[in-house]
Amino acid sequence: MERPDFFELKNGEKVKLPFSDKEYQNRVSSLRKVMSDNDMDMVILTSMHNVAYYTGFIYCSFGRPYGCVVTQQKIVTISANIDASQPWRRSHCDNVIYTDWRRDNFLRAIVSIIGRDDPPKSIGIENDHVTLDIKDKLNSIFSTAIFKDVSKHLMKLRMIKSDEEIEIIKNGARIADLGAEEIVKHIKPGQTELEIAIAGRDRMEREIAKTYPGAEYMDTWVWFQSGINTDGAHNPKTNRALQNGDILSLNTFPMISGYYTALERTLFVNEVDDASLKAWEANVKVHERGLELIKPGVKCSEICEELNNLFADLGYLQYRTFGYGHSFGMLSHFYGREAGLELREDIDTVLEKNMVISMEPMIMIPEGKPGAGGYREHDILVIKEDGAENITKFPFGPSHNVIKN
């Protein structure tokens, strides 16, 4: 029996995607303009975030390559046979499935989409994602083509959010608040980080299902840290039991069709000592000032400079651990950073309408020093014509978050 290298399968019906057909058409039109402006005959997308952004399909690679071929006439996803027809159902475009029976069938599927008669002279690829192995193989197949990096162009397009994107991000922020409300109900000595995190995650997933009944439910999570485990912003939860007077870090991350949002808060169990209160209040002052600074026309680096000066005046700049905020959209902690929109010393991007960015100062005081632990607050803001809308509603600071259950 002869088995194919690749094939098409339309199993079932197309499902309702998180965005309208017009939204996806606008995105693809913007991509094709980038291609025209930069003399690219085709683009091969390989990252999870760009494939999802332009097609609606969120892949799970498990070591296999996935992609999307875009020309001025076509847009086609390429997926592994292990997923059957799900990539076709969960996208607004066509799909080609490659099989595992022969090595490099992924590449043969690319050739099948564009044909062999008129090979592309210039191909856009994501230099920040495509592996050296895939790049070498693309070079061998398209030996006369010039390869150009398209990743920075696409990142700039993704940094400006549509009204439909802002709507899903706002719902995500609302659901993150609900997760936090549920978590607070379970905070008391003896409860573990793990069990508290489970309660918050389950609350958010149920609300996502209620709000988006036709969505895919994946990757919503909670990091809930206590004591020394608060020293890193991305530390996993543990099975440590909470103790009276513990510093806590609450982090809720709802994921809606590839769009993640976040809420982060410092809390204490029942009481807070004087040194910890001083550090906490300092971080809150910086957070409040940061919220005031986010507006259109301001450089990211200028915000960072002013907040650095404030931290220095308060005596805590040496304890700062990372940037003051970053973009939100088709990205998460695990894929898709929009590095051009971050509140850092080395980013001079000017904030503009329909950007979405966080304000999230953090300081970490090492063990053995008064007030030891990690302090952070995190709100998400949508840039408007003449200001910014804070879409995070869960309260922050000592007057709200010394939890006495």
Catalytic residues: 234
Taken in order 194, 200, 203, 207, the sign of the CA dihedral is negative
Question: Are 281 and 311 in contact, with CB atoms under 8 Å apart?
Answer: no
User: Contact at 8 Å (CB) between 355 and 315?
Assistant: no
Alpha carbons 401 and 138: distance in angstroms, whole number? 54
Transcribe 252-304 into DSSP letters. EE-EETTEE--EEEEEEES---HHHHHHHHHHHHHHHHHHHH--TT-BHHHHH
Buried b (16+ CB within 10 A) or exposed e, 23-35: bbeebbebbbebb
Buried b (16+ CB within 10 A) or exposed e, 275-304: ebeebbebbbbbbbbbbebbebebebbebb
Note whether 50 and 130 are within 8 A (CB): no
| The pair of three-digit structure tokens given for residue 273, joined into one six-digit string | 């000592």
**CA pair distance 305, 344, nearest whole angstrom:** 8
Residue 303 CA to residue 294 CA, distance in Å, equals 8
Tokens matching residue 33: 């303009």
Give CA angle at 203 (198, 206), nearest 5°.
120
Going by the DSSP 8-state scheme, the letter that residue 230 receives in this structure is: G
- Count CB neighbours of 318 within 10 A: 9
Using H for helix, E for strand and C for coil, what is the string for 18-52?
CCCHHHHHHHHHHHHHHHHHCCCCEEEECCHHHHH
